[in-house]
Amino acid sequence: MLRIIEKWMDAELVYEQDGYFLRVLLGDQIKSVIKLKAENDEDARKKARRAIYVFLN
């Protein structure tokens, strides 16, 4: 089951059965996928924001 936790302009944080993923988007296409190790949704949000900052800058 796919659950979108949070969406940003160029990325979205997703929870699937295998864990948390940050999907970086280019328009409607997925540019890359980053797997995050997180304890819960809030921890995943924090790590995703950090990854977005590092990845997109």
pLDDT score, position 1: 85
Q: What percent of the chain shows pLDDT beyond 90?
A: 72
Gap between the Cα atoms of 32 and 27, Å rounded: 12
What is the number of structural domains in the chain? 1
| pLDDT tens column, 33-45 | 999 999 999 999 9
Structural domain span for residue 7: 3-56
